[in-house]
Amino acid sequence: MTFIFKNRTHAGQMLAPKLENYAHKPETIVIGLTRGGVPVAYEVAIALNLALDICIVRKLGVPGNEELAMGAIASDGVMVLNDDIIREFRISQPTLDAVIARELRELQRRERVYRGNRPPVNLVNKTVILVDDGIATGSTIRAAISIIQQEQPKSIIVAVPVAPIEVNQELETEVDGVVCVITPEPFYNVGLRYEDFSQVTDEEVHYLLERSGARFAEV
């Protein structure tokens, strides 16, 4: 199988030109999903001269098969569950509650580490470009969409390097636009399209967020 993206930085550089209509618009904000979406979002924000912020979402992995999402949870406890997966794997309510509690603790830790004293960007009446490094089932991106919708943005554009075509089509009915570099068939998984899909660190997320904020502070 041929790799499409060298790494997340390269993926962001390939995604940015597809969003050039949003360049230099102060009412538009790029939001990166932590952790993997942040390096992609950073490149988009740099290329389009837009502000960058983050949305912290945690996948609710099936116990023993954590890569398989039975849902996702975002800040403030906003949650999206995949009922089909929960039924198929016979996930009990106590098991689900335990996974939710664990991931909520991790969400709160990351909020402190990534932001420090920096408050979230105000999204009211803004156009939000929501960026991840790819979409598989769509549960994580839907959790992010749910929390962003609570902030009353003007519109939400989902932008990713790679996703299944059927998930893209579903999302097009849920947000104001979907931008994707490739929709391979068969899909398999996001990581197969990256030469380097190593885990993004907490330090990298903090650094990119600080670097983006400093760029606008200097203007």
> pLDDT, tens digit, for every residue of 3-14?
789 999 999 999
The pLDDT of residue 147:
84
Residue 122 has pLDDT above 50, yes or no: yes
Provide the pLDDT for residue 146: 86
Identify the pLDDT of residue 79.
83
SS3 4: coil
Give the domains, in start order, of the chain with CATH numbers: 8-56+122-217 (3.40.50.2020)
φ, ψ of residue 117 in degrees (nearest 5): -95, 0
SS3 61: strand
pLDDT at 2: 62
Torsion on CA atoms 8, 209, 141, 86, rounded to nearest 10: 100
The SS3 of residue 34 is strand
What is the reported pLDDT for 216? 58
Q: What is the mean pLDDT of residues 184-203?
A: 93
Residue 214: pLDDT above 90? no
Evaluate if residue 129 carries a pLDDT over 60.
yes
The 10s digit of each residue's pLDDT in 58-104 is 889 999 988 788 988 887 677 888 899 999 999 999 999 999 999 99
What is residue 137's predicted lDDT score, i.e. its pLDDT? 85
Distance between CA 82 and CA 77 in Å, rounded?
16
Torsion 27-175-62-100 (CA) sign = positive
Give the other-Cβ count within 10 Å of 89's Cβ: 14
Nearest Cα neighbor of 38 from 60, 11, 76, 17 is: 11
Contact between 32 and 40 (Cβ < 8 Å): yes
* Cα gap 186→4, rounded to integer Å: 15
Banded pLDDT at 1 (limits 50, 70, 90): low
Mean pLDDT (the chain) is 91
Q: Is the pLDDT of residue 217 over 60?
A: no
The β-bridge partners of 106 are none
Give the Cα separation of 156 and 217 in Å (integer): 25
| pTM given for the model | 0.85
Contact 103, 73 (CB under 8 A): yes
Question: How far, in Å, CA of 8 to CA of 81, rounded?
Answer: 27
Give the Cα separation of 130 and 53 in Å (integer): 10
